[in-house]
């Protein structure tokens, strides 16, 4: 039986509500599709009024409801369920003063870094973390509200599409350590001042930093000085990672070997080498970033290194699969969860570093939210494709037409404006020995292509 997370009386005290039926909960949910037995269901009002789904939540096992309207279930009654969820999150933070909290943001790698930090925290003791990519104005307070009172360490993913979104989230978390993985041309259509605006928005992560907290920053990023100034203005101790001279954790080597890689680092003058289960070149700096973040959250180094050694690639973010087809097998590298110019170039560089028995095949779908420069950002991928010695390229989406036109005919494998219309040509073109990397923005449905390729596996067919 899971431990009690909240009693009705505790919830009412935290949110300024009134108890209407006694209950105890072991979790918190805002979505009937993910309600677990024992959950508190919080019906939010958006396109639909969540109160309509209370009977469904109760049928799925919710034992209590945080409600703004009369419901046929034990409840704590409030005026506004969203404000009450925020208050419950703050109360969860305040009742766990022993908890060391970290926050992760950045244009690329937020979720992977958050998951890797979480792995280290869990090895070190009682830990809590964001699930999925719960990183917005709802996800962050929800993650806080789910935090048990005896949590020793926690890590929160924090995202944004516009300016002024991260500040309140950082103030909810009140982190002891933060990391900005990198800043790149992402969500540019929402920033009149372009990438600098993105950098300033990411720097909002310092707004809630506890006094004397640590800011872990990418020393190789062009906005490092701007971010460092912002961190120091907020009273942070700045630690840096990357290949740049003077970085706290300076990457000195990254060697792919079999199923993973060996990372070499100069950490404050001490030479270290350690294994990881990732092969993507971006995991050189990523692993250093994780190492520093875990140190800032009081995780022993041996524990941090053990976590990195065991941390496997996440589905859609570099996970690999051997797919058996007639005549042999090919390797599918699934990077389909998201894409922007920075992560796309890193993925192509990784593909280029692979030793292959057959061909290097890149399957790319649109990068979204790039604003007026979208055509240029897509066309410019032709250069990293050439550097990576990619043999054949399949493209889907209206924006990828710009890259299609920039590619030499010898590299053109196939193009479709609609992702789903590429699947047949793609499936018929793959040969044994190929390494096939699929990448694109989630909204451009790159996952459809990754799924179609995985489905070719003869070992999993009838």
On whether both 71 and 175 belong to a single domain, the answer is no
**What sign does the CA torsion over 295, 140, 313, 180 have?**
negative
Please give the pLDDT value at position 189: 66
CATH code assigned at 19? 3.40.1390.10
Integer Cα distance of 247 and 289 in angstroms: 11
CATH of the domain at 397: 3.90.190.20
Q: Note whether residue 119 is domain-resident.
A: yes
- What band does 432 get if pLDDT is binned at 50, 70 and 90? very high
**Mean predicted confidence (pLDDT) in 376-397:** 95
Residue 89 lies in a domain: no
The yes-or-no verdict on residue 48 having pLDDT over 70 is yes
293/407 same-domain check: no
- Domain limit, last residue, from 310, 343, 367: 310
Across 212-259, where does the E strand assignment appear? 214-218, 237-242, 249-257
| Residue 260 forms part of a structural domain | yes
Residues of the domain holding 335 = 319-460
Are 236 and 363 in a shared domain? no
pLDDT at 462: 46
pLDDT band of residue 314 (cuts 50, 70, 90) is: confident
Q: Are residues 220 and 283 in the same domain?
A: yes
Same domain, 75 and 100: no
Give a yes or no: residue 1 inside a domain. no
Burial class from Cβ neighbours inside 10 Å (0-12, 13-18, 19+) for residue 257 reads: exposed
The predicted model gives 85-107 an average pLDDT of 97
Residues 58 and 148 in one domain: no
Considering the domain architecture, whether residues 105 and 226 belong to the same structural domain is answered as yes
Residue whose structure tokens are 């800043």? 183
Q: Phi/psi zone of residue 56: left (φ > 0), alpha (ψ -120 to 50 degrees), beta?
A: alpha
CA angle 281-442-277, nearest 5°? 30
Residues 357, 377 within the same domain: yes
> Which backbone phi and psi does 308 adopt, to 5 degrees?
-65, -35
Q: What percent of the chain has pLDDT over 70?
A: 97
In this structure, the answer to whether residues 128 and 66 fall within a common structural domain is no
Residues 347 and 456 in one domain: yes
* Domain boundary, last residue among 246, 277, 310: 310
Is position 51 within any domain? yes
Is 198 inside any structural domain?
A: yes
Query: Does residue 191 register a pLDDT over 70?
Result: no
Position 365 pLDDT exceeds 70: yes
Report the CATH number that the domain containing residue 165 is assigned in CATH: 3.40.1190.10
Q: What are phi and psi of 61, to 5 degrees?
A: 115, 0
pLDDT digits (tens, 9 = 90+) for 52-79: 999 999 999 999 999 999 999 999 999 9
Other CB atoms within 10 A of residue 27 CB = 20
Lowest mean per-residue pLDDT among 142-146, 352-356, 458-462: 458-462
Q: Note whether residue 250 is domain-resident.
A: yes
Q: How does pLDDT run across 320-357, given as a tens digit for each residue?
A: 889 999 999 999 999 887 888 888 988 998 899 888 89
Whether 87 is in a domain gets the answer no
- Tens of pLDDT, residue by residue over 402-412, are 999 999 999 99
- Amino acid 186: pLDDT: 62
Shared domain check, 252 and 202? yes
Write down the mean pLDDT value for the chain. 92
**pLDDT of res. 79:** 97
Domain ends where: 262, 285, 310?
A: 310
Residue 188 has pLDDT above 70, yes or no: no
- Does one domain contain both 303 and 364? no
Helix (H, G, I), strand (E, B) or coil at 19: strand
Work out how many domains the chain is built from and give that number: 3
């Amino acid at each position: 039986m899971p431990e009690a997370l909240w009693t009705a009386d505790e919830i009412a005290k935290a949110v300024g509500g009134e108890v209407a039926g006694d209950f105890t909960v072991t979790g918190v949910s805002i979505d009937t599709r993910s309600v677990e037995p024992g959950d508190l269901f919080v019906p939010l009002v958006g396109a639909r009024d969540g109160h309509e789904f209370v009977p469904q939540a109760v049928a799925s096992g919710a034992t209590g409801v945080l409600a703004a309207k009369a419901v046929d279930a034990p409840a704590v009654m409030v005026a506004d369920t969203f404000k009450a969820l925020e208050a419950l999150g703050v109360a969860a933070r305040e009742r766990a003063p022993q908890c060391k909290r970290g926050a992760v943001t950045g244009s690329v790698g937020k979720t992977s870094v958050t998951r890797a930090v979480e792995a280290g925290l869990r090895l070190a003791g009682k830990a809590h973390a964001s699930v999925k990519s719960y990183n917005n104005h709802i996800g962050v307070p929800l993650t806080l509200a789910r935090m048990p009172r005896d949590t020793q360490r926690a890590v929160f993913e924090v995202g944004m599409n516009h300016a002024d979104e991260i500040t309140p989230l950082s103030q909810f978390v009140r982190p002891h350590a933060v990391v900005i993985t990198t800043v790149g041309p992402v969500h540019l259509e929402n920033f009149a001042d372009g990438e600098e605006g993105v950098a300033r928005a990411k720097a909002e992560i310092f707004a809630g930093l506890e006094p004397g907290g640590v800011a872990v920053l990418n020393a190789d990023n062009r906005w490092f000085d701007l971010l460092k100034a912002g961190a120091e203005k907020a009273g942070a101790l700045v630690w840096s990672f990357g290949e740049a001279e003077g970085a706290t954790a300076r990457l000195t080597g990254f060697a792919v070997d079999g199923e993973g890689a060996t990372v070499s680092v100069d950490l404050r003058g001490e030479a270290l080498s350690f294994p990881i289960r990732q092969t993507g070149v971006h995991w050189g700096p990523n692993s250093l970033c994780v190492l520093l973040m875990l140190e800032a959250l009081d995780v022993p180094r041996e524990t941090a290194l053990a976590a990195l050694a065991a941390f496997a690639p996440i589905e859609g973010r570099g996970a690999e699969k051997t797919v058996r087809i007639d005549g042999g097998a090919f390797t599918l590298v699934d990077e389909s969860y998201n894409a922007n110019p920075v992560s796309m170039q890193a993925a192509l560089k990784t593909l280029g570093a692979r030793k292959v028995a057959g061909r290097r095949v890149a399957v790319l779908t649109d990068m979204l939210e790039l604003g007026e420069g979208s055509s240029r950002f897509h066309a410019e991928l032709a250069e990293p494709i050439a550097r990576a010695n990619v043999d054949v390229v399949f493209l889907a989406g209206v924006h990828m037409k710009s890259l299609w036109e920039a590619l030499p005919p010898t590299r053109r494998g196939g193009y479709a404006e609609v992702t789903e219309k590429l699947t047949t040509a793609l499936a018929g073109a793959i040969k044994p020995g190929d390494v096939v990397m699929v990448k694109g923005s989630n909204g451009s449905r790159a996952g459809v292509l990754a799924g179609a390729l995985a489905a070719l596996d003869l070992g999993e067919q009838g």
